[in-house]
Amino acid sequence: MQCRTDLGLCVAFPPSPVTRSGTQKAAFVGSSWPAKMAAPAGKLARGWSVLALNLRTAVPRLPGLTQVRWSRYSPEYRDPQTDKEYYRKPLAELTEEEKCEQELRKTQLIKAAPAAKTSSVFEDPVISKFINMMMKGGNKVLARSLMTQTLEAVKRKQFEKYHAASAEEQATIERNPYTIFHQALKNCEPVIGLVPILRGGHFYQVPVPLPARRRRFLAMKWMLTECREKKHRRTLMPEKLSHELLEAFHNQGPVIKKKHDMHKMAEANRALAHYRWW
Amino acid sequence: MLNRVTRLVPRARQLDPGHFLHGGPQGPQGLAVHLDDQVPDESPRAGSRPSEDDPAGAGEQREGRHYRIPLQDLPTVFPHGLPRRFGLQVKTFNEACLMVRRPALELLRYLDGTNFAHPAVRYVLYGEKGTGKTLSLCHVIHFCAKRDWLGVHVPDAHQWVKSCRGLLRSAYSRQRFDQPVEASSWLKSFKTANERFLSQIKIQETYMWNKRESTEKGRPLGEVVEQGLTRVKNATDAVGIVLKELKSQSCSGAFRLLVAVDGANALWGRTTLKREDKSLMAPEELALVHSLRKMVRNDWHGGAVVLALSQTGSLFTPRMACLPQELLGKEGFDALDPFVPILVSNYSPKEFESCVQYYLENSWLQHEKAHTEEGKKELLFLSDANPGQLERLCAYL
C-alpha cells in the first residue's frame, strides 16, 4: 500500500478520453485498475489544478483513495525528443509550428531521458516494454540479453524450417524475429476483459472493453507467466520464450488458449454487463 | 557503389583455400588450373569468377572475400567441431564460409614457401578478443588438409588444464598425471582426421603397455591409436607416443606435419586441477601438456607449428591481456622464442562491408533498418568492426 500522506492526495485516474498529463496517477488501493474510473470529473479537475501548482495545501481526502505511481516532474516538463531525424531537418524545411516548437524547447524544462531510451534505428518500444517486464531485481543487462537470445533462437528456428521447406512453402515462412514477436503479441491480446465489481456484498466478474495498453500488458504478462511457471525448471528462458512466441504467431499454444478462455468467460457472464457504468 | 561492392564480394567460391596466394598474372587461367585439382563435386557458385580485368599482383584482391568449405569436408578436417558460434552459423546457413583476411593470407604465403629442411617455424596468432584468431587457424588447417599435410590439431588447450575429472597418476612417470577422457577424445578426432596416414606410418620402437600387451616395432601407427582408444587408461601414453613418432618421422619427408594449437598460452599458464593433497598442480605435471610442449619445440623439421593465443578461456590472466608476452609469460615466451608473431585485428572498412554484404545475401539481417545506410553505420559503431561482436549483433537483428 503506497500512501503519500504528506501530499495526502486522492486524485482519481480518469477513464479516457481525459488523458493523463503525465504527472499523477492514483489508484483505488487494494482493488483493480478500473475502479480508478470511479471518481467524478469535478473532483478530478480540482485535484489536477492543485497538483499543477505543486501546492502542498490541505486537500480534502476522499476515503479509500490514495495515490500511487506518481512522477517527480511537474506538468511543465516536456518529454525528451530522441528522434535523430527531428534534429537533422535543415532550417528551411521546418514549418512554422516546428520552428515555434524548437524555440520553445530552448527555454522549457525537459525531463531526463530514461537510460534505456536511445536514438538507435533498431529501437522498438514494444521490445523495450517486454524487456522491462521480464526484468527482475533491476537486472536490465540480463533481461536484455535474454531478449536478444530469444530473438536469435526464433530466427535460427525459422531459418531451419526455411531450408527444410520446398520452394512454395518458403515464401510463406516468416524469418524476421521482430515481425514474429509483434504478431505473436497481437494474437495474444484479448478483445474483452473481466473486471470484479462489488455489488451487494459480492464481487461479480463483469465483461468490460479493455483499453489498448491494458490489452498489450495482458498479452505480455500471460506470455511471461506461461514461460516462467508452466515449463520445466531446467529449460532456459530464451528456449521457452522462442517456442511460445512461435506458437502464438501461428495462433496456437497455451497463451492463445488463455485468451480464448477469457473471451469464453466474458461471453458466459454477458448477463452481468449492465453492472458496468462506464 | 553496388557494382564495387559486388565485385569485392562475389558469391563465395568453393575454391582451393590456397588459391588466393596465387593471384595476379595467372588470372582466369590460374583459376582454371586450381579448379582442376579440386574435388570433382565442388562447383564455384554463380558469379564467383573474378572479372577479367583484375589487376596483376592480386593476392590482396582476394582480401575480404568469403570462400566456402564444402560441408562434406567438415567432419574430416574438423572432427572435434568448429568454434561454437561458427558452428551455429554453419548449421543455420547450411554452408561454411570463411572470410579471407590478411593474417591468414600472410600465414598461407609463409607455409607455401616453407623450407622443409630447416627447423619448424612457429607462427603465433595473437590479437584482441573476437578478432578472428581461431577462424584464421581453421582456415590454415583446411589449407593444409587440402595440401595433404598431416594435421595435429588441438582445438582448445585450455580444456586440458581445467575441469578435468578422472585424473590418474601416470604409469610411465610417477611425477605426471594422466587425463584419460581428454586424451581418448583427442585420439578419436586424430584418427578421423588422419585416417589415411595411420596405416602408412610405422612406429620405430616397441612399446610395452603392460605385461601382456605391447606394440612391436614396424606396426602401423593406427595400432597405437587403437590401443589408446580401447584401453582408456593408456590413452595419454598413446598420445605421447603418437606425437613422438610423428616428430621423429616428419624429418624423413614421407609427410608434412602441421601442429596447430588453439589457446596455446594454456601450456605455460596455471591450472585449476588439484593433486590428491588438494594443492594446485603446475601444467608440466600433466602428461598431455608435457608431450605437447615437446611437440611445439623447433627441434624437428618437415613441417610447421601454428599457435593461436586466447585470453578467453585462460586462467588467472587479466581480461585485457592480448600480447604474446602477457599471455605466455616469461617461461612460455622463452620456450617459443624465436617465433613469427602475426597480429589479427578488427575488420578493415572493406572487410566490414564484405561481412555485412554476406549477411545480407544470406538474409541473416532481417531487421528492415539494417539494410539502410543508417543501420550499417550503427552496426559499425556498435561493433567497432570487431568480427565477434558484429556476429553477435547481427544474430538478433
Residue pLDDT tens, chain B, 397 long: 444 444 444 444 444 555 555 444 433 333 333 333 333 333 333 223 323 222 323 455 678 888 888 999 899 999 988 999 999 999 999 999 999 999 999 999 999 999 999 999 999 999 999 999 999 999 999 999 988 999 999 999 999 998 888 888 888 888 899 999 999 999 999 999 999 899 899 999 898 888 888 888 889 999 999 999 999 998 999 999 999 999 999 988 889 999 999 999 999 999 999 888 889 999 999 999 999 999 999 899 999 999 999 999 899 999 999 999 999 999 999 999 899 999 999 999 999 999 999 999 999 999 999 999 999 999 999 999 999 999 999 999 9
Tens digits of residue pLDDT in B153-210: 999 999 999 888 888 888 888 889 999 999 999 999 999 999 989 989 999 989 888 8
What pLDDT score was predicted for residue B45? 34
* Cell numbers given for B249: 618421422
Q: Nearest CB to B92: which of A120, A148, A156?
A: A156
Give dist(CA A75, CA A55) in Å, integer.
Answer: 13
Tens digits of residue pLDDT in A139-187: 999 999 999 999 999 999 999 999 999 999 999 999 999 999 999 999 9
- Test B375 with A122 for CB contact under 8 angstroms: yes
Closest-approach residue (CA) in chain B for A159? B92
What pLDDT score was predicted for residue A179? 96
| DSSP, res B130 | T
Give the Å distances, CA to CA, from A142 to A79, B59, B370: 27, 44, 24
CA angle B123, B126, B131 (to 5 degrees): 130
Q: How far is B375 from chain A (nearest CA, A)?
A: 6
**Interface mutation vs chain B, best among A85, A120, A121, A239, most B CBs within 10 Å:** A121
* Contact list, A122 vs chain B (CB under 8 Å): 367, 369-370, 375, 378, 397
* Cell numbers given for A1: 500500500
Question: Is residue A87 within 8 angstroms of chain B, CB to CB?
Answer: no
| DSSP, res B348 | P
Q: How far is A143 from chain B (nearest CA, A)?
A: 14
Which residues 101-160 of A have a C-beta within 8 angstroms of B?
120-122, 148-149, 151-152, 155-156, 159-160
Give dist(CA A53, CA B140) in Å, integer.
Answer: 73
Q: How far is B83 from chain A (nearest CA, A)?
A: 17
Of B260, B281, B133, B96, give the one whose Cα is nearest residue B186.
B260
Q: How many contacts does A have with B, using Cβ atoms within 8 A?
A: 36
Question: Is residue A167 within 8 angstroms of chain B, CB to CB?
Answer: no
Q: Reply yes or no: is the peptide bond before residue A17 cis, omega within 30 of 0.
A: yes
Give dist(CA A242, CA A193) in Å, integer.
Answer: 26
Q: pTM of the entire structure?
A: 0.80
- Test B396 with A151 for CB contact under 8 angstroms: yes
* Cell numbers given for B382: 556498435
The torsion region of residue B386 among left (phi > 0), alpha (psi -120 to 50) and beta comes to beta
Question: Is residue A173 within 8 angstroms of chain B, CB to CB?
Answer: no
What pLDDT score was predicted for residue B351? 93
The torsion region of residue B103 among left (phi > 0), alpha (psi -120 to 50) and beta comes to alpha
What pLDDT score was predicted for residue A137? 96
Question: Is residue B371 within 8 angstroms of chain A, CB to CB?
Answer: no
**ipTM above threshold 0.90:** no
What pLDDT score was predicted for residue A61? 59
Q: Nearest CB to B395: which of A152, A175, A178?
A: A152
Q: How far is A211 from chain B (nearest CA, A)?
A: 29
- Test A149 with B396 for CB contact under 8 angstroms: yes
Question: Is residue A175 within 8 angstroms of chain B, CB to CB?
Answer: yes
Q: How far is A163 from chain B (nearest CA, A)?
A: 8
Give dist(CA B287, CA B239) in Å, integer.
Answer: 9
Closest-approach residue (CA) in chain A for B381? A120
* Cell numbers given for B96: 561454411
* Cell numbers given for B302: 618437415
Give dist(CA B24, CA A78) in Å, integer.
Answer: 63
Give dist(CA B295, CA B240) in Å, integer.
Answer: 10
The string of DSSP codes covering B16-46 is -GGGGGG-STTHHHHHHHHHHTS-TT--PPT
**Contact B382/A138 with Cβ under 8 angstroms?**
no
What pLDDT score was predicted for residue A11? 40
Phi/psi for A25 (5° steps) reads -130, 135
User: pLDDT of chain A along its 278 residues, tens only?
Assistant: 444 444 444 444 444 343 444 444 444 444 445 444 444 443 444 444 444 444 444 445 567 777 778 888 998 898 898 888 888 887 777 678 878 887 887 888 899 999 999 999 999 999 999 999 999 999 999 999 999 999 999 999 999 999 999 999 999 999 999 999 999 999 999 999 999 999 999 999 999 999 999 999 999 999 999 999 998 989 999 999 999 999 999 999 999 999 999 999 999 999 999 999 98
